[in-house]
Amino acid sequence: MRLLLVHADKFEYEAREKAVKVPEPLDDSRKKGTLEDGLIVFCTVEKVDEQAPERVITNASNSIEEVLGWLKAKKVMIYPYAHLSTSLASRDPAINILKGLEKELLTKGYEVKRSPFGWYKSFTMTAKGHPLSELSRTISIDEQSESKTGASMKTEYMVMDMDGSLHSPEDFVYRQGMDEFQSLVEKEALKKGLTGGQPKFLDYARRFGIEWEPYADVGQMRFGPEASLMLDLLSDYANQVVRRIGIPILNVKGTNMFDVSIEPIKEHLQLFGSRAYEVKVDERTFVLRYAACFQQFSMVKDWTLSYRTLPFGTFEIADSYRLEQSGELLLSFRLRKFLMPDLHIYLRSVDEAIDTGRKVHDRIYEEIRKLDREYVSLYNTTRSFYNAHKDVFVELAAVERKPILINFVPEGHYYWVLNVEYNIIDDLDRPREIGTFQIDIGNAKRFGISYDDEKGQKQFPVIIHTAVLGGLERYLFTLLDSAIRMEKNGRKPMLPIWISPIQARVIPVGQQFMEEAKKLVERLQDSGMRTDLDERDDTVQSRVREAELSWVPYILIYGGKEVKSDKLSVRSREDGKDHTMSLEELVNLVRSKTAGYPYRELNLPELLSQRPGYKRV
Q: List pLDDT tens digits, range 64-104.
A: 988 887 777 899 999 999 888 878 888 999 999 999 999 99
* pLDDT computed for residue 152 by the predictor: 42
Q: Quick check: 141 and 49 in contact, CB under 8 A?
A: yes
Q: Tell me, yes or no, whether 162 lies in a domain.
A: no
* The last residue of a domain, from among 480, 509, 534: 480
Same domain, 115 and 218: no
CA 539 to mean position of chain CA atoms: 42
- Single out the residue of 454, 568, 447 nearest to residue 505, CA to CA: 568
**Residues 377/400, Cβ–Cβ less than 8 Å:** yes
Whole-number pLDDT of residue 487: 94
pLDDT on residue 130:
60
Element (H, E) at 358: helix 350-369
User: Do 193 and 140 fall into the same domain?
Assistant: no
Number of helices followed by number of strands (H, E) in the chain? 17, 28
Which amino acid, 361? H
* Residue 137 lies in domain: 2-148
Q: Answer whether residue 524 is part of any domain.
A: yes
Q: Answer yes or no: do 464 and 518 share one domain.
A: no
pLDDT (average), residues 573-598: 95
Asked whether the predicted pLDDT for residue 22 surpasses 50, the reply is yes
- Strand-pairing partners, residue 558, are 508
Give the three-state DSSP class for 587. Answer: helix
CA 46 from centre of chain:
31
Instruction: Choose the final residue of a domain: 480, 513, 528.
Output: 480
H-helix or E-strand containing 368? Answer: helix 350-369
- Asked whether residue 508 falls in the same domain as residue 476, the answer is no
Whole-angstrom distance, CA of residue 518 vs CA of residue 580: 20
Residue 418 domain-assigned (yes or no): yes
| Rounded distance between C-alpha atoms, residue 458 and residue 448, angstroms | 11
242 versus 30: the higher-pLDDT residue is 242
Model pLDDT for residues 535-574, shown as the tens digit of each residue = 999 999 999 999 999 999 999 999 999 998 889 999 999 9
- Residues 195 and 193: their CA atoms lie apart, in Å, by 7
The pLDDT score that the predictor gives to residue 194 is 64
Confidence of residue 142 (pLDDT cuts 50, 70, 90): low
The two beta strands, 404-409 and 156-160, are antiparallel
pLDDT at 614 over 80: no
CATH code assigned at 564: 3.40.50.800
Whole-number pLDDT of residue 29: 82
Above 60 in pLDDT, residue 380? yes
* Last-in-domain residue among 148, 171, 192: 148
Question: How many domains are contained in the chain?
Answer: 3
CATH (domain of 319):
3.30.930.10
Is there a contact between 461 and 305 (Cβ–Cβ < 8 Å)?
yes
The mean pLDDT of 405-434, rounded to a whole number, is: 92
Task: For residue 277, name the pLDDT band (cuts at 50, 70, 90).
Answer: confident
Specify whether the CB–CB gap between 305 and 289 falls below 8 A. Answer: no
| Residue 606 contacts residue 521 (beta carbons within 8 Å) | yes
Give the end-to-end CA distance of the chain in Å, rounded to a whole number: 33
- Encode pLDDT of 457-512 as tens digits: 999 999 999 999 999 999 999 999 999 999 999 999 999 999 999 999 999 999 99
96/231 same-domain check: no
Helix (H, G, I), strand (E, B) or coil at 280: strand
Assess if residue 375 is contained within a domain: yes
Contact (Cβ atoms closer than 8 angstroms) between residue 507 and residue 540: yes
Residue 266 lies in a domain: no
Q: Alpha-carbon dihedral of residues 385, 465, 218, 482, nearest 10 degrees? A: 90
For residue 157, being part of any structural domain is answered with: no
**In terms of domains, do 246 and 358 share one?**
yes
Both 387 and 469 in a single domain?
yes
Give 47-62 pLDDT, tens digit per residue. Answer: 888 888 888 998 899 8
SS3 per residue for 200-260: CHHHHHHHCCEEECCCCCCCCEEECHHHHHHHHHHHHHHHHHHHCCCCCEEECCCCCEEEC
Contact 426, 199 (CB under 8 A): yes
Same domain, 217 and 340: yes
State whether residue 55 is helix, strand or coil: helix
Q: pLDDT, tens digit, for every residue of 208-217?
A: 999 999 999 9
Indicate if the pLDDT at residue 158 is higher than 50: yes
**540 occurs within a structural domain:** yes
**Whether residue 71 is found in the same domain as residue 212:** no
What mean pLDDT do residues 189-208 have? 81
Contact yes or no for 60/100 (Cβ under 8 A):
no
Backbone angles phi, psi at 125, to 5 degrees: -150, 140
446 pLDDT more than 90? yes
| Gyration radius of the chain's alpha carbons | 28
Residue 241 lies inside a defined structural domain of this protein: yes
- The secondary element (H helix, E strand) that includes residue 357 is helix 350-369
Domain shared by 240 and 386, yes or no: yes
d(CA 575, CA 493): 11
| 212 and 340 both lie in a single domain | yes
Are 447 and 396 part of one and the same domain?
yes
Using a 10 angstrom Cβ sphere, with 0-12 exposed, 13-18 middle and 19 or more buried, the burial of residue 540 is middle
583 in helix, strand or coil? helix
Contact 80, 115 (CB under 8 A): yes
8 A C-beta contact, residue 517 and residue 508: yes
Task: Specify the CATH number for the domain of residue 103.
Answer: 3.50.80.10
pLDDT band at 179 (very low <50, low <70, confident <90, very high): very high
